[in-house]
Amino acid sequence: MEQTFIMIKPDGVQRGLVGEIISRFEKKGFYLKGLKMVSVERSFAEKHYADLSARPFFAGLVEYIISGPVVAMVWEGKNVVVTGRKIIGATNPADSAPGTIRGDYAIMIGRNVIHGSDSIESARKETALWFPEGVSEWQSNLHPWIYE
């Protein structure tokens, strides 16, 4: 089944939003397949955001991501990449609908609490980068209660 890479950024950790964020994905019915808290090096953050390296905000973005520990996760489920992005909300919290994570918990684009892969391909790349050891293969016994 489809998987996505989700990362709670340093502001989300500092602000005590880890449980709330995990809860939203969990209650939706997605399965948690990987989870760890890590403080990443500058070169690692630059690699994660390599596609944005030419953008004027890149240096600030990297500083932000390395400013404290983050919570890296892999979530699994039908359409989890697109649905995960909907749960997260628009990149700029000013445009994120209430009810989304960024809509409910963020104000500034540079402190937008959470990352989610934007495609199946980037989910694969990001999961390989953040979880080179692999993720868990457990299967939920709730499956028939969530999927018909």
Least distance to Mg ion, CB of residue 32, Å: 21
- The span of 10-18, 27-35, 111-119, 130-138 binding ligand DAT (CB under 6 A) equals 111-119
CA–CA separation, 47 vs 42, rounded Å?
A: 9
| Contact residue for ligand DAT among 110, 120, 125, 140 (CB under 6 A) | 110
- Residue 130 identity (one-letter amino acid): W
Is residue 143 annotated as part of the catalytic site, yes or no? no
Only one of the segments 36-44, 93-101, 108-116, 137-145 lies at the binding site for ligand DAT (rule: CB under 6 A); that segment is: 108-116
CB 24 within 8 A of CB 101: yes
Q: Verify binding: residue 112, ligand DAT, rule CB under 6 A.
A: yes
Q: Check residue 103 for interaction with ligand DAT (CB under 6 A).
A: no
Rounded to the nearest whole angstrom, what is the least distance from the CB of residue 117 to ligand DAT in the complex?
8
User: Could you tell me the smallest distance in angstroms from the CB atom of residue 5 to ligand DAT?
Assistant: 11
Residue 51: what are its φ and ψ, rounded to 5°? Answer: -65, -20
Active site (catalytic) residues: 115
Contacts with ligand DAT, residue ranges (CB under 6 A): 52, 57, 61, 91, 109-110, 112, 115, 118
